[in-house]
Structure 1
Amino acid sequence: MGKVINLDERRPHITLNTQAGRVHVVPASVFVDIAKGDKTVDCLDYRDELLRLVVAEWLEHVGLYGAESLREVDD
């Protein structure tokens, strides 16, 4: 069972349902800091898992044919 956290301390936040079947809640400020260059992706727990989902969603957003299948949960 996962750790229970107070989401009020992490608002606004982004909820990510990864291909590994896990749910992660990340404060939006973390992604803003990464985009600004104030933090690196190394600050993320489950970095590779989260980046896999972010890239898959980005590819779908830019219209890459077949990208929606990249977000499917692994068995």
Structure 2
Amino acid sequence: MGIYEGRPDLKLFTAAALILGNSTAVYMADLSSRLPEAGAGAGVAAIAAMFLNIYFLSSLRQKEDRFVREE
């Protein structure tokens, strides 16, 4: 049974949350480039968050039968 089976609203909510996370990460990267006291750590964390969110967004497009287990 897939984790999103019968719950398309959950899949949509997950995608919306990841898109919001991406825009927050872009804002953090922009803020760290404008404020030297923010340091490079905020920029690196923002870029890492963007890549992680992109990975999760791409995993939403995969077929859900990878979660199915034979019993």
Fold equivalence (TM over 0.5): no
Higher-Rg structure is: 2
Compute the TM-score of the two structures, normalised by the length of structure 2.
0.30
Compute the TM-score of the two structures, normalised by the length of structure 1.
0.29
Q: Greater RCO between the two (CA within 8 Å, min separation 6)?
A: 2
Structure with greater proportional strand content? 1
Structure with greater proportional helix content? 2
